[in-house]
Amino acid sequence: MQTLEAFADTLVPGERRYSGDLPIAGVAQGPGAVQAGAVQVLQSPDLPLAPFLPGIAALLNTRAASYAAIRLIWLPVTRPAFVGLSFAHRTALVGNLFDTSDLDRQIWQMLSLLTSLAFDSASHMDTAVAIEEHHSGLAWLGFPPPDTDGLWRFSQFSYGTALADLHPKTTASGSPA
């Protein structure tokens, strides 16, 4: 899982969880994708992805070893190849993975989408529970808690103005009629 954590941290970096935390590069203050549950999202029983994660991690490590060999970068043998890369090299490699000519591009796109969902929306949790448990991504983004009745209402529009008029048949609870 270190490889997948390092991949998630490359996309949404955060601070290290403890000293010696190898997958987390620690290049940003605050929580990152790993703290927000990216690996939990990838391993979710609601997704058919979990059985493929070891193979995906192996593919990423193979790509990292190749990247390092071409650039004569020494990788420690005590950790997975991708984890052994510096953050700058991880970032460069991940950028290459998204090149339109990369045969595995769709794999990396799916992993990046799921990683960002963990941070931006706590997709692996009920939103109210995530707020109550102070989900690191939602807290960092300043996602508001629900009203006292458990519903979210936004008195101020996110763009500072209503984007559309309220449909005349909308019920008092906000549901369409």
Q: Write the pLDDT tens digit of every residue in 89-129.
A: 999 999 999 999 999 999 999 999 999 999 999 999 988 89
Rounded Cα gap, residues 153 and 84, in angstroms:
46
* pLDDT tens digits for range 137-166: 999 988 888 888 888 877 777 666 778 888
Q: Please report where in the chains the tokens 């990216």 appear, as a residue.
A: 38
Q: How far apart are CA 99 and CA 102, in angstroms?
A: 5
Judged by phi (left if over 0) then psi (alpha if -120 to 50, else beta), residue 30 lies in left
Query: What tokens appear for 162 in the block?
Result: 């209503």
Placement of tokens 């899982």 in the chain: 1
The single residue listed with the structure tokens 């692996």 is 124
Residue-averaged pLDDT of the chain = 92
